[in-house]
Structure 1
């Protein structure tokens, strides 16, 4: 994968968690800087590097979520496009729930891989995923009704 694609994917992960462009960019940049210092920058960007960098974004988000703006009334700024409704619903989740849903349902990674940063067992992560999905379903129903 080329470097620009890599950066775009990492930014997308960050934006899904944060919902604000400048802060998402800052966290993505920090994660990329941290991860690329561990690898030889001459190497081709691999899926493994993408996963490690995505995990770094999640780690930064979780450790700094109390200082990162949680956009609760993002719904007033959105139109009725489904991707915007989904993003608004994700932003209404608690930080750990956001990470779990983005990691599994958007990125398609295995939940157990989050164990290194969240220190939860697979059963607990599955419980969080179930509750996050339920919340998203309920929230999307409410948003669709309020947007009509």
Structure 2
């Protein structure tokens, strides 16, 4: 993928987590800057994966700074508003597994949370998204 597409994907994931354009820009910028030394002209999926891991790590460490204070935003899609009602780790699990399709083992490392607990949170979050 080219650099523009890479930035767009990283920003989209950051937005799914934060629910706020400014916070998403900040989180995406921090993650991209941290991985600037590995970014090449043509970006492969491994570099995207590393950067998305960084986005999730930043969000989980600093979610109180980067989370939208208002859970409902009329400009957001229904699913984004539903995501914002989930607690940060559950939200991250949904984005990580269901949106990005990544392995939960990496999220276990990022979050310092056992995989069994992550799956429990993921399943509960899925139910909340369906029944919200």
TM (normalized to structure 1)? Answer: 0.82
Q: For the residues of structure 1 that align with 2:71 and 2:91, how far apart are their CA atoms? A: 16
1:112 and 1:125 in contact (8 A); partners too: no
Q: For the residues of structure 2 that align with 1:135 and 1:64, how far apart are their CA atoms? A: 24
Calculate the aligned-residue CA RMSD, in Å.
1.6
Higher alpha-carbon Rg: 1
- Equivalence for 1:59: 57
- Equivalence for 2:23: 23
- Equivalence for 1:108: 101
Structure 1 stretches of at least 4 aligned residues deviating more than 3 Å after TM superposition: 69-73
Q: For the residues of structure 2 that align with 1:95 and 1:138, how far apart are their CA atoms? A: 19
Gaps of 5+ in 1: 140-148
**Pairwise CA distance, 1:70:** 3.2
Q: For the residues of structure 2 that align with 1:136 and 1:93, how far apart are their CA atoms? A: 9
Q: How do 1:91-106 and structure 2 match up within 5 A? A: 91-106=84-99
- Equivalence for 1:118: 111
Gaps of 5+ in 2: none
Question: Residue deviations 1:25-46, cap 9 Å, x none?
Answer: 1110110010123x1x445311
Secondary structure in structure 2 of the residue aligned to 1:67: helix
Secondary structure in structure 2 of the residue aligned to 1:120: coil
